[in-house]
Amino acid sequence: MAYLKNAWYVSALSTEVGPVELFHRKIMDTSILIYRKEDGVAVALHDRCPHRFAPLHLGKRDGDQVICIYHALRFDCTGKCTHNPHGEGRIPQAAVVRSFPLEERHGMLWIWMGDQPADLARLPDFGPLDEGHPHGVGYTYMHMKANYELIIDNVMDLSHIDHLHGEIITTRGKLSPKVPQIKEGARSISARWEWEQTPAMLIFADHLPQPKEEARHFFDITWTPPANIQLSVGAVQNDGALDLANCVGQYDLHTTTPETENSTHYFFATRRNHIEDDAGYNDMKIKAMHAAFENEDGPVITAAHEEMGTTDFFSLKPVLMTNDIAPVKVRRLLSKLIKEEQRPDALAQ
Amino acid sequence: MAYLKNAWYVSALSTEVGPVELFHRKIMDTSILIYRKEDGVAVALHDRCPHRFAPLHLGKRDGDQVICIYHALRFDCTGKCTHNPHGEGRIPQAAVVRSFPLEERHGMLWIWMGDQPADLARLPDFGPLDEGHPHGVGYTYMHMKANYELIIDNVMDLSHIDHLHGEIITTRGKLSPKVPQIKEGARSISARWEWEQTPAMLIFADHLPQPKEEARHFFDITWTPPANIQLSVGAVQNDGALDLANCVGQYDLHTTTPETENSTHYFFATRRNHIEDDAGYNDMKIKAMHAAFENEDGPVITAAHEEMGTTDFFSLKPVLMTNDIAPVKVRRLLSKLIKEEQRPDALAQ
Amino acid sequence: MAYLKNAWYVSALSTEVGPVELFHRKIMDTSILIYRKEDGVAVALHDRCPHRFAPLHLGKRDGDQVICIYHALRFDCTGKCTHNPHGEGRIPQAAVVRSFPLEERHGMLWIWMGDQPADLARLPDFGPLDEGHPHGVGYTYMHMKANYELIIDNVMDLSHIDHLHGEIITTRGKLSPKVPQIKEGARSISARWEWEQTPAMLIFADHLPQPKEEARHFFDITWTPPANIQLSVGAVQNDGALDLANCVGQYDLHTTTPETENSTHYFFATRRNHIEDDAGYNDMKIKAMHAAFENEDGPVITAAHEEMGTTDFFSLKPVLMTNDIAPVKVRRLLSKLIKEEQRPDALAQ
């Protein structure tokens, strides 16, 4: 399957990789080893010894180095072989493990899987996740047995929330009739919805001045390649701006990483701007959102994936409607970027 | 795999589809939704929303309509989209779910999967199943991990019953030496065996005048496309006709529906002409027959399927004997009908 | 996958096939039935009835004959059909089950899967397994989810033992720096290591005159096609010859049989020359070795297999070192023998 390779994908939540653990995960069909050096900085290597192909995560650490379990070849955190206990100990030139650029930002470990030099300018700034009380932000990880583009589709078309999800985030039918405003960038697609509902979304109503009265709402989502969707949502009962600064709301990041063409690592982060210092509420909130993805979105996306198999989405002639404008634009732009990357002269760009 | 498409297959027993349930089953590699309208009439639709390919059985009913769980497109029982809650609510012309002709007869829901107009003349009459006391008939369903033609072979060659099955239906070696009389029609293959045994088959002996004495027996089976085998069997101790009217016996229907090329829905119905009003006996009888298929035929057919894989039966050069005449004639006629259906001019026939 | 066909593989341990059992095992993608005649001599047939492809092991025995469960065709131990209960009982000429030459030697049942005449000269002599006290020898069988050549690699490169295995067979780092002496025959590859360590390998130390002192050690391994590795290992504290006659040691046979290209039957036998009459020690010893293969070698070999898939080993460009000389020579010689066997004129050789 064609993936956008020269891009930053989340390989793991920061909290998934402990200080001494040899963490491993398959990313775009490749086995990846992730571990933190003694200074805490995380590194990523191909999880495969170049000698006999044993996974390195089965081995052990010695300081910042990794020792293969099978024949004890030792590699530093750049993948260079530093010790061969066999024969006279000569280290073959080819005894190198591929290393992958890894950046820790916004509570996540971002990996660059491509052959072009890693370009930090391509890692979007999700700074708002980092700003505020530590109990105002939550993170979760889900493994989904579906292609990652179906998960992007799901978030890019928020019209599903009244139909698929429960009472707690219902817009009482107000969202679906709205056709979102779309903005297209060279490497981004945004959609914005605005609506009124009475009462406000239940996740916000109690934090507004008049919980049972009407409130103005907005959703603002922006996809950036390869698979990030930043979503802001809020409600307000004053006449000010319809943005997070003036609303009771939250700043979320949905981001997906293909494991294979049939399975996806789904990472989610959410920062709210209300009752930020309540650890119990924070815990309940991220668990509830995790449960909604797993129990409500997950089964439908997985079932649709099983229906589609690996057949190309457009070749199945989906009936497309106004609510599909944003996800279809994302599919087309992503497809264009992948094709550009695969052009013979792509490296020279 | 090539299936005969323009034909009636059993999709479900009548009792499998409750009054409000959204029942689903994969038939010839296609996901099918079956439900009963409020008037009880069952209908069949492709179990896939044409928008984003979510299975419709995950959704809910509103009267005779079905609402997709994902984005709430609503379809009537013919598959026509009747409501789109998105944007201005325009219904795209392509928003149609394929519907399949469905006929409820003889306690079963028969589906027509082909592109030609459904032809009721092609649905054989198994009327005797419907005639008699309600406790004189039983139905069962089995899922088999084997190609459907192996199950047809099994019933078309009844010589296996003395070898594979237990005491209760043994012919005491009398059946195998008999070469059945074969009758071939344009769209049917029949086989008939007649023999004497002492005592009679144990399922009949106690219902005959002299349970320990010799009785004349017959088997009469008729295959009709695509996958129906009507089997009559009986025993008698008078000099009258060797048929169900004069014998203690039963009228059975074995019919199979491919789920995939490697798995089959196996439906079975049996009507007996003795102790018809005994609900307990009826229950015991259908359970015993179900158990025999599952525990005796099933493992052998499944194991043979695993040995054969998807290799064509004849290309494996099976050793064929007198007992294979009927099943081989069925395989050849079915293959001929499939080839005719696939000819470019088949629709015009 | 290409296997060396005209060669002897172990199909089962002698103890795996009881006196009346219809034992079955898949060997090189083919279902094999093994059973012992009434005189105890084991025979091997294709585990597939030539009529309807039911596995014969589901059937029953009548003396030295096997009766198919499905339609009761009866075959003698050479695979010849001796009885057909159907119709007039004529036995079709094609009603023959393929039989495979089977030799019971050294506690194992060796099968010849090829089309050329079985050649007993190609069955190596592992006679030392048979000589000595019955409590001085142990056998075990393991099923491994990995290609058989990876298991051969593992034994041909014993440098892994200090790294992968526990204290009990450690050479305290003395083995890895040694480059083994290699001997190449027309149909064999041998490797020999010699070293000193203090104390001796723990499996031998207590049986030497001075358990805590230095001892001289050797490993001697010889691969013969298709997949046998005879391994001798010993330790001594006198100045005599470094061989099993003069050492405390053991004579082992590792041999593998492909089930499929992704799974292997791994057989192991070990004969020691010390405390030979202790049944409890013998039992503990074979269980400990079985556990080491299953818990230490197994997971690494299986994980390497998963990393490699069915990709050719050399095409993955493994980094090869001094410890790989012996296994690489085996891979190359085996590959050469397979290619020779597949030449059009191979049968004439």
Instruction: Say how far apart CA A283 and CA C287 lie, in whole Å.
Output: 48
Average pLDDT over residues B248-272: 98
Structure tokens at C127: 């006679």
- Chain A environment of C157 (Cβ under 8 Å): 71
What is the pLDDT, as a whole number, of residue B10?
98
Q: For B25-73, write each residue's pLDDT tens digit.
A: 999 999 999 999 999 999 999 999 999 999 999 999 999 999 999 999 9
- Is the CB of C121 inside 8 Å of chain A's CB atoms? no
Average pLDDT over residues A308-333: 95
Q: Is the pLDDT of residue B348 over 60?
A: no
Which of A:289-308 have CB within 8 Å of B?
Answer: 299-300, 303-304, 307-308
Structure tokens at A173: 């039918």
Q: Which of A300, A320, A321 sits opposite B70 (nearest CB)?
A: A300
Q: Which of A54, A84, A86 sits opposite C303 (nearest CB)?
A: A54
Instruction: Say how far apart CA A56 and CA A75 lie, in whole Å.
Output: 10
Amino acid code (one letter) for A271:
R
Mutate to test the interface with A, among B86, B96, B97, B98 (most CBs of A within 10 A): B86
Interchain pair C52, B304: CB under 8 A: yes
Q: List the subunits that have 3+ CB pairs under 8 angstroms with B.
A: A, C
Q: For C217-231, write each residue's pLDDT tens digit.
A: 999 999 999 999 999
Q: Which of B157, B163, B303 sits opposite C72 (nearest CB)?
A: B163
Mutate to test the interface with B, among C52, C88, C260 (most CBs of B within 10 A): C52
How sure is the predictor about C310, in pLDDT bands with cuts at 50, 70 and 90?
A: confident
Instruction: Say how far apart CA B289 and CA B267 lie, in whole Å.
Output: 12
Q: Is the pLDDT of residue C182 over 70?
A: yes
- Chain A environment of B52 (Cβ under 8 Å): 153, 304, 318
How sure is the predictor about B349, in pLDDT bands with cuts at 50, 70 and 90?
A: very low
Instruction: Say how far apart CA B159 and CA C85 lie, in whole Å.
Output: 9
Q: Do the Cβ atoms of C265 and C257 come closer than 8 Å?
A: yes
CA distance B161 to chain C (A): 8
Mutate to test the interface with C, among A26, A29, A46, A53 (most CBs of C within 10 A): A53
DSSP letter string, A36-105:
E-TTS-EEEEESS-TTT---GGGSEEETTEEE-TTT--EE-TTSBEEE--STT----TT-B--EE-EEEE
Q: Is the pLDDT of residue A344 over 80?
A: no
Structure tokens at C219: 């490993």
What is the pLDDT, as a whole number, of residue A346?
63
How sure is the predictor about C347, in pLDDT bands with cuts at 50, 70 and 90?
A: low
Q: Which of B53, B68, B87 sits opposite A308 (nearest CB)?
A: B53
How sure is the predictor about A349, in pLDDT bands with cuts at 50, 70 and 90?
A: very low
Instruction: Say how far apart CA A71 and CA A64 lie, in whole Å.
Output: 18
Instruction: Say how far apart CA A197 and CA B131 lie, in whole Å.
Output: 61
Q: Could you tell me which residues come within 8 angstroms of residue A51 by beta carbon, excluding any fewer than 6 positions away?
A: A68, A70, A71, A73, A95, C318, C319, C320, C321, C324
Q: Which of C307, C321, C322 sits opposite A55 (nearest CB)?
A: C307
Q: Which of B153, B176, B300 sits opposite C69 (nearest CB)?
A: B300
Interchain pair C71, B179: CB under 8 A: no
What is the pLDDT, as a whole number, of residue C344?
76
**Chains B–C, number of C-beta pairs less than 8 Å apart:** 77
pTM comes to 0.95
Instruction: Say how far apart CA C132 and CA C136 lie, in whole Å.
Output: 7
User: Chain B residue closest to A162 (CA)?
Assistant: B71
Q: Could you tell me which residues come within 8 angstroms of residue C311 by beta carbon, excluding any fewer than 6 positions away?
A: none
Q: For B106-134, write each residue's pLDDT tens digit.
A: 999 999 999 999 999 999 999 999 999 99
- Is the CB of C48 inside 8 Å of chain B's CB atoms? yes
| Cα distances (Å, whole numbers) of residue A230 to A8, A156, A191, C7 | 15, 10, 11, 63
What is the pLDDT, as a whole number, of residue B310?
84
Average pLDDT over residues C318-342: 96
What is the pLDDT, as a whole number, of residue B347?
56
- Chain B environment of C72 (Cβ under 8 Å): 162-163, 176
Question: What's the complex ipTM?
Answer: 0.94
Q: For C201-213, write each residue's pLDDT tens digit.
A: 999 999 999 999 9
CA distance B303 to chain C (A): 6
Instruction: Say how far apart CA C83 and CA C75 lie, in whole Å.
Output: 7
Q: For C247-287, write each residue's pLDDT tens digit.
A: 999 999 999 999 999 999 999 999 999 999 999 999 999 99
- Is the CB of B153 inside 8 Å of chain C's CB atoms? yes
What is the pLDDT, as a whole number, of residue C349?
46
Average pLDDT over residues A261-277: 97
Instruction: Say how far apart CA C205 and CA C210 lie, in whole Å.
Output: 8
Q: For C164-180, write each residue's pLDDT tens digit.
A: 998 889 999 999 999 99
Q: Is the pLDDT of residue C346 over 70?
A: no
What is the pLDDT, as a whole number, of residue A166?
87
CA distance C143 to chain A (A): 19
Write out the E strands in C145-202.
Answer: 181-185, 188-197
Interchain pair A300, B54: CB under 8 A: yes
Write out the E strands in chain C.
Answer: 8-13, 23-27, 30-36, 42-46, 60-62, 65-67, 74-75, 81-83, 99-100, 102-105, 108-112, 137-144, 181-185, 188-197, 215-224, 228-236, 248-260, 263-272
Average pLDDT over residues A135-146: 98
State CA C283 to chain mean position distance: 20
Please state, rounded to an integer, the average pLDDT across all residues of chain B. Answer: 96
What is the pLDDT, as a whole number, of residue A310?
84
- Chain C environment of B156 (Cβ under 8 Å): none
Average pLDDT over residues A179-194: 97
